Amino acid sequence: MYARVTVATTLPGKTDDVLRIERDSIVPACKQQKGFKGLYLLHDHKTDKGLTITLWETEADMRAAEVSGFYQQQVAKMKDVLAAPPVREEYEVSLAP
């Protein structure tokens, strides 16, 4: 399994908007992608920093969501609530429950 971690800082007072966009738009879109296994959103209310972790069955599935422009389309949905462009990292999941 593979994970894409996107780190971003939200604009002050926009946490509810981030949650709404993730829940109502990004998660349903991800569920339609081949190999998608799940999404976690972690948020620090003190710093407005957040991490979105998406899980993918294979590295190819994870990369296909990027090459197709899907990842960029989802990030674009957040343009009005982020303080700066997000930073993306990719990992192989070494241990999971």
| pLDDT tens-place string over residues 52-84 | 999 999 999 999 998 999 999 999 999 999 999
| Of 47, 36, 42, 30, residue with least CA distance to 3 | 36
Residue 85 lies in a domain: yes
Residue 97 lies in a domain: no
Number of domains in the chain: 1
Q: What is the pTM of this model?
A: 0.89
User: Residue 57 belongs to what domain range?
Assistant: 2-92
- In this structure, what CATH number is given to the domain that contains residue 57? 3.30.70.100
CA-to-CA distance for 18 and 11, rounded, in angstroms? Answer: 10
Q: Is residue 45 part of a domain?
A: yes
pLDDT, one tens digit per residue, over 5-37 is 999 999 999 989 999 999 999 999 999 999 999
